[in-house]
Amino acid sequence: MTSKPEADPRLLEAHDLALAALREITPADTIGAPADVRVEDDGVVSLRFENRLNGYPGWFWTVSLARVEDAEPTVLEVELLPGDGALLAPEWVPWAVRLAEYQAAQAAAADGDDDTDKDDDDDADFDDDADVDDLDDLDATDFDEDGSPILHAGDLDGVDIDELAEGADEDEDDADDADSEDDADPEDD
C-alpha cells in the first residue's frame, strides 16, 4: 500500500497565485470559495475552487501548481473540470409524466393569475387556441410506456398518409389515361 505523497506547504498556501491565474481566463464573479486540494504523485498540487458559471453544476475551477527546488511556485494548468457525479445524467422521466407535471404547473399558474389584473382580450385569445384544447385532452394513456405518442396506422404528424396515397393513385390514373390517349394510333381515328 502506497501512502499519499506529502504536499509542498508553499504550494498549499499559493491561493493568491491560483486566483490570479484563474482571473486571467474567467471573470472573478465565476470563481467561488476554495473547495479542496488534490496532491498528485509527482508533487503537483491542484487547488480547486467552486464554480459559479451557469450550466456547470458540480464543476470546479482547478489550478495545478508545482515547484522546482528553491524556486517559487508556478502555475502548470488552469481549467474547469467536472467533480464527482457532474457528468451523470439525471434519472430518466417519461415524457408523459413530464407533460402531466407541466400541465399541472400551468393549471396552478392559471389559478393564481385570476387575482392579477390582465387584459381580458389576452384571456380570450388564449381560450380560442385549438392547440391548447388538444393538450387538455391528453393523458398518460395517449402515450406508450416509453413516453412516445401512440400513432395510429397511417398517421404521420396528424396527416393520414393513406388518404394522401389514395389521392396520388387517382392522379396517376388520370396521367395514365392521358398517356394512353396520346399513344393512340392516328389511323384508328
Full domain range(s) for residue 46: 9-82
CB 37 within 8 A of CB 45: yes
Quote the pLDDT of residue 18.
Answer: 93
- Please tell me which residue, 63 or 173, carries the higher pLDDT value: 63
Quote the pLDDT of residue 184.
Answer: 57
Last residue in a domain, options 116, 135, 150:
150
Asked if residue 139 belongs to a domain, the reply is yes
Quote the pLDDT of residue 4.
Answer: 64
Number of domains in the chain: 2
Give per-residue pLDDT as tens, 137-186: 666 666 656 556 555 555 556 666 666 666 666 656 665 665 555 555 55
Asked if residue 168 belongs to a domain, the reply is no
For the chain, helix, strand, coil in percent to 5 are 45, 20, 35
Quote the pLDDT of residue 151.
Answer: 57
Quote the pLDDT of residue 111.
Answer: 85
The residue-averaged pLDDT of 23-27 equals: 94
Between CA 187 and CA 71 the distance in angstroms is 108
Asked if residue 66 belongs to a domain, the reply is yes
The residue-averaged pLDDT of 31-50 equals: 91
Q: Which of 26, 78, 34, 77 is nearest to 54 (CA)?
A: 26
Quote the pLDDT of residue 103.
Answer: 95
Bridge partners, residue 82, by sequence: 59
CB atoms inside a 10 Å sphere around CB 155: 14
pTM exceeds 0.75 for this model: no
Evaluate if residue 77 carries a pLDDT over 70. yes
- Is there a single domain that holds both residue 76 and residue 14? yes
Give per-residue pLDDT as tens, 91-134: 899 999 999 999 999 999 998 765 544 444 444 444 444 554 55
- Is there a single domain that holds both residue 77 and residue 125? no
Residue 39 burial by Cβ neighbours in a 10 Å radius (0-12, 13-18, 19+) = middle
Bridge partners, residue 118, by sequence: none
Quote the pLDDT of residue 160.
Answer: 62
